[in-house]
Amino acid sequence: DAGVIQSPRHEVTEMGQEVTLRCKPISGHDYLFWYRQTMMRGLELLIYFNNNVPIDDSGMPEDRFSAKMPNASFSTLKIQPSEPRDSAVYFCASTASGKGYEQYFGPGTRLTVT
Amino acid sequence: AQKVTQAQTEISVVEKEDVTLDCVYETRDTTYYLFWYKQPPSGELVFLIRRNSFDEQNEISGRYSWNFQKSTSSFNFTITASQVVDSAVYFCALSTGTASKLTFGTGTRLQVTL
């Protein structure tokens, strides 16, 4: 079975540009999570969805960040406008209710904002 | 509020040594889940184990073993006969309720040398 798929794997952009990160969860999983990893803050949850509905977005740093999940197999995390401090690795994870709730992570997107 | 503490920032061992990674957690919830994830140099996060708060049985999987003690709020991870391939950052994490956000510790970097 395919794992969580994220694209792009690497993104380099200039400050002020819009960035869109994409995630395809494991088929059949009904929870999707977006995390960010930085040296300063470690791994932190940004937002998570259940059945395509956002449940907790308290970790979204500011209005420049937005996330959507239009269907069960696709989610996006958008940053507009991007800033250098957004540089991080962004992970998407998914899990299924009734299957232990362990979250399976995608390979991550390394974002560099110059 | 939940908190996970991994006091060991970095550990270096020689191959075939046993090593224990410590994890201490804080939560007021009576139902919670504890996890260990491995992040090798390639950067992905690999799920290792999940434990729920009602199951204090220790678990062994090959060279890996986990010791869960509610009395000391600890969930320690031991690698027996370490190998170079075990070199990675290991994260302990906590979630409460069912599928919810993971609160990660700061990670322990394990370096195994020949």
For B8-39, how does the pLDDT look when each residue is reduced to its tens digit (9 = 90+)?
Answer: 999 999 999 999 999 999 999 988 999 999 99
Sign of the dihedral through C-alpha B103, A99, B36, A42? negative
Inform me whether the C-beta atom of residue A33 falls under 8 Å from chain B C-beta atoms. yes
Which residues of chain B make contact with A44, given a CB cutoff of 8 A? 104
Q: Residue A31 in contact with residue A18, Cβ under 8 Å? A: no
Q: Residue B76 in contact with residue B21, Cβ under 8 Å? A: yes
In percent, the amount of chain A with pLDDT more than 70 equals 96
Q: Do A101 and B50 touch (CB under 8 A)?
A: yes
Q: Which of B45, B99, B107 sits opposite A31 (nearest CB)?
A: B99
Average pLDDT across chain B, whole number: 93
For A27-71, how does the pLDDT look when each residue is reduced to its tens digit (9 = 90+)?
Answer: 999 999 999 999 999 999 999 999 999 999 999 988 999 999 999
Which of B1, B9, B13, B2 has its CA nearest to residue B106? B9
Distance, in Å, from the CA atom of B73 to the CA atom of B50, rounded to the nearest integer, reads 15
